[in-house]
Amino acid sequence: MSTTRAESPAVSPTLALGVAVLAVSTSAILVDLSNAPSLVKAFYRVLFTLALVAPGALLNHRDAFTRLSARDALGATLAGTALAIHFGTWFESLRWTSVAASVTLVQAQPLFVALGAFFLLDERFSRRMGVGIAVALGGMVVMSAGELLSGAAVAGSRPLYGDALALVGAVMAAAYVLAGRSLRQRVPLLPYVTVVYAVCTVVLLAFVVGAGHPLGGYPDREWLLFAAMALGPGLFGHTVLNWALGHVESSVVSVSLLGEPVGSTLLAVVVLTEFPTLATLVGGGIVLAGIYVTASDRQPSATVD
């Protein structure tokens, strides 16, 4: 779909992208600082983000909800479920591997979107995309092998397990994009994220209850971190990125997200004193190069919210 507009927005899309990338770069740090169970963190991040976007959607786009067809409801259910699994697995991965590795691997979403679109939607698959995916996969091997041999950045961690969870998170992020693609084209931004976040919240609540985690009793510090996850990465991060899709080419937005692993890694050094290994830096650089080659050759229609 076309993502350019004739009129000039009141806010510079370039400035908005910069703010959004900085905001999403704080996500892994906020998750790592929280001591709550991973599923609980994910549940409250999505619940609080839903509370921020739903009022605007209900006040300004109420008719969009009444026009939802059964097909749209199914698409929203699939997208919200995939998003719930994405958050749950990625948040858990940060317990077992370094921030640099986790964020880089979960950002591999464009690779799986390209593969999913080819196999499920019969979209073209160019030689350039194939090269990009191969390069990224090579970087993942370098990164994971290096972390395993070095013992990773955190004592007692399980880097391969954490890396695998991050990759599952990337696959689920791609499933979210593919499931919600047509729905996003028919439904405005705020109603779209409201419906998907509502489904995601319900699914995560079921996961939390099923795992036996308490919903309350957390110290004030945890509630502040939950709110920060929703306000920063949720509202000012991915919601702004989705707004930017209306004013710049989607490939620009997709490639700009490659700044997230860089920002998260630098913040991890400053805030968590977590220094990535040489293998993580080299392998991560190769992965980002592969993602760039792949993302710049396709036009993804949504980003993870």
Query: Per-residue pLDDT tens for 75-119?
Result: 899 999 999 999 999 999 999 988 999 999 998 888 888 888 888
Which pLDDT score, from 0 to 100, does residue 164 have?
A: 93
Residue whose structure tokens are 């950002």: 107
pLDDT top residue among 214 and 299: 214
Residue 7 within any structural domain of the chain: no
pLDDT tens digit string along 179-197?
887 787 788 888 988 999 9
Which pLDDT score, from 0 to 100, does residue 216 have?
A: 96
Residue 284 within any structural domain of the chain: yes
Q: What single-letter amino acid sits at 302?
A: A
Residue 303 within any structural domain of the chain: no
Please state, in angstroms and rounded to a whole number, the distance separating the CA atoms of residues 175 and 111: 11
Which pLDDT score, from 0 to 100, does residue 165 have?
A: 96
- What angle is formed at CA 42 by the lines to CA 39 and CA 46, rounded to 5 degrees? 140
Which pLDDT score, from 0 to 100, does residue 1 have?
A: 40
Range of the domain at 282: 13-295
Q: What single-letter amino acid sits at 253?
A: V
Which pLDDT score, from 0 to 100, does residue 149 have?
A: 67
Mean pLDDT score across all residues of the chain: 86
Answer whether residue 258 shows pLDDT above 90: no
Which of 224-228, 289-293, 298-302 comes out lowest in average pLDDT?
298-302
Find out whether 53 and 198 touch, Cβ atoms under 8 Å. Answer: no
Residue 98 within any structural domain of the chain: yes
pLDDT tens digit string along 224-250?
999 999 999 999 998 888 787 777 766
Answer whether residue 305 shows pLDDT above 70: no
Please state, in angstroms and rounded to a whole number, the distance separating the CA atoms of residues 58 and 10: 23
pLDDT tens digit string along 209-223?
999 999 999 999 999
Q: In the chain, pLDDT over 70 holds for what percent of residues? A: 90
Please state, in angstroms and rounded to a whole number, the distance separating the CA atoms of residues 143 and 187: 39
Which pLDDT score, from 0 to 100, does residue 121 have?
A: 75
pLDDT top residue among 198 and 9: 198
pLDDT top residue among 269 and 146: 269
Max Cα–Cα distance, the chain, nearest Å: 56
Residue 8 within any structural domain of the chain: no
Across the range 261-287, mean pLDDT stands at 90
Across the range 26-35, mean pLDDT stands at 96
Which pLDDT score, from 0 to 100, does residue 294 have?
A: 82
Residue 68 within any structural domain of the chain: yes
Which pLDDT score, from 0 to 100, does residue 2 have?
A: 40
Task: Read off the tokens for 92.
Answer: 């858990």
Which pLDDT score, from 0 to 100, does residue 166 have?
A: 95
Crossing angle between the packed helical segments 99-106 and 159-186, to the nearest 10 degrees: 40
Across the range 22-29, mean pLDDT stands at 95
User: 77 exposed, middle or buried (CB, 10 Å; 0-12, 13-18, 19+)?
Assistant: middle
Please state, in angstroms and rounded to a whole number, the distance separating the CA atoms of residues 46 and 230: 7
Residue 5 within any structural domain of the chain: no
Q: Model confidence at 7, in pLDDT bands (50, 70, 90)?
A: low
Nearest to 23, CA basis, from 295, 218, 243: 243
- Counting the structural domains of the chain, the total is 1
Please state, in angstroms and rounded to a whole number, the distance separating the CA atoms of residues 222 and 34: 6
Residue 3 within any structural domain of the chain: no
Answer whether residue 10 shows pLDDT above 80: no
